[in-house]
Amino acid sequence: MKESKINFYSENEFQLDHEKSYGIWIEGVIESEGKKLEEISYIFCNDDYMLDINMKYLDHDTYTDIISFDYSVGNILQGDIYISTERVEENSREFNVSFEEELRRVIIHGVLHLCGYKDKSEEESTLMRGKEEEKLKLFHVEQ
């Protein structure tokens, strides 16, 4: 059996259910964008952990749901994606969606950043949201 190139770690109490399904989905999204996967690590954490990373590496004194560190070279994707499960929980309530749906959106948002999509301008954000919707439809739980 081939070793997964997608890793899930937790720096808090969160445990991702259906890791295999997420891995298959993420690999499919990467392939659908014409990219190749080297290795991606997801690190789930709390707000304080994320704030520390945001201040230390990005000089931002704000809470955020996701930070992506992109080590990709050309079309070969590699990176670390930090996700605050506390922010995901709060955002799911704010947007009136389930925690799982919001988590999938954030997970794939990070992959799309590694694929080269940005979200700084309104035009970039609109494209990113469209890509998120497109990729969310590809998720299903493997039985």
C-alpha to C-alpha distance for 67 and 127, rounded to whole angstroms: 19
In a domain, 20, yes or no: yes
Q: Would residue 26 count as lying in a domain?
A: yes
Please check if 119 is assigned to a binding site: yes
Whether 143 is covered by a domain: the verdict is no
Across the range 34-61, mean pLDDT stands at 96
Asked whether residue 18 is domain-assigned, the answer is yes
The answer to the question of residue 1 being in a domain is no
What mean pLDDT comes out for the span 46-72? 95
76-104 average pLDDT score: 98
Average pLDDT over residues 53-77: 95
The reply, when asked if residue 47 is annotated as ligand binding, is no
Average pLDDT along the chain: 95
Residue 13 lies in a domain: yes
Q: Which of 132, 91, 88 is nearest to 112 (CA)?
A: 132
- Give residue 63's pLDDT: 92
Please check the confidence at residue 73 and state whether its pLDDT lies above 50.
yes
Q: Range of 40's domain?
A: 6-136
Average pLDDT in the 52-75 region? 95
Q: What CATH number should be reported for the domain holding residue 57? A: 3.40.390.30
pLDDT score for 1: 44
pLDDT given for residue 131 in this prediction: 98
pTM check: above 0.85:
yes
Each residue's pLDDT tens digit, 108-126: 999 999 999 999 999 999 9
113 is in an annotated binding site: yes
Question: Taking a C-beta distance cutoff of 8 angstroms, is the pair 79, 71 a contact?
Answer: yes
Split into its structural domains, the chain has a count of 1
pLDDT value of residue 2: 53
CA distances for 33 relative to 48, 51, 138, angstroms? 33, 31, 13
In this structure, are residues 30 and 37 in contact, taking their beta carbons and an 8 Å threshold? yes
Q: Could you report the per-residue pLDDT of 9-22, keeping only the tens digit for each?
A: 999 999 999 999 99
